[in-house]
Chains A and B, each alone.
Chain A
Amino acid sequence: MIYITLFLTFLKIGLFTIGGGYAMIPLIQEEMLKNAWIESADIVNFIAVSESTPGPFAINIATYVGSEMGGIFGAFCATLGVVTPSFVIILLVAKFFEKFKTNKIVSGCMSGLKPAVIGLIASAVLSIGKTAFFPDGVMLSVFTDVKTYVSLAIFAVATVMAFRKVHPIWIICLSAAAGIAAGFIIGG
Chain B
Amino acid sequence: MGNKILTLFLTFLKIGAFTFGGGYAMIPLIQREIVESHGWVSDEDILEIIAIAESTPGPISVNTATFVGYRVAGVSGAFFATLGLVIPSFVVILIISSLLREFQEIKAVQYAFAGIRAGVVALVIKAWWTMYKKCDKTVSAYVIAALAFVAVAIFDLEVIYVLIACALAGLCVSLYAARKGEKSE
* B-binding residues in A (CB < 8 A): 12, 14-27, 30, 41, 44-45, 47-60, 63-64, 67-68, 72, 75-76, 79, 82-83, 85-87, 89-91, 93-94, 100-101, 104-105, 107-129, 131-133, 147, 150-152, 154-155, 158-159, 161-163, 168-169, 171-172, 174-180, 182-184
Contacts and interface: CB of A to CB of B under 8 A. Distances in A.
Given A55-B89, A116-B166, A126-B153, 7 more contacts: A22-B124, A58-B62, A118-B132, A119-B148, A132-B118, A175-B116, A176-B116
Interface in B78-102: 78-79, 82, 85-86, 88-90, 92-94, 96-98, 100
Interface stretch (B1-9, B31-39, B105-113): B105-113
Contacts of B169: 112
Interface of B: 16-24, 26, 48, 52-63, 66-67, 70-71, 75, 78-79, 82, 85-86, 88-90, 92-94, 96-98, 100, 107-108, 110-129, 131-132, 134-136, 140-142, 144-153, 158-160, 162-163, 166-175, 178
Contacts of B48: 101
A142 B145 CA distance: 29
Contact of B57 (A76, A86, A159): A86
Contacts, number: 389
B75 A54 contact: no
A74 B135 CA distance: 37
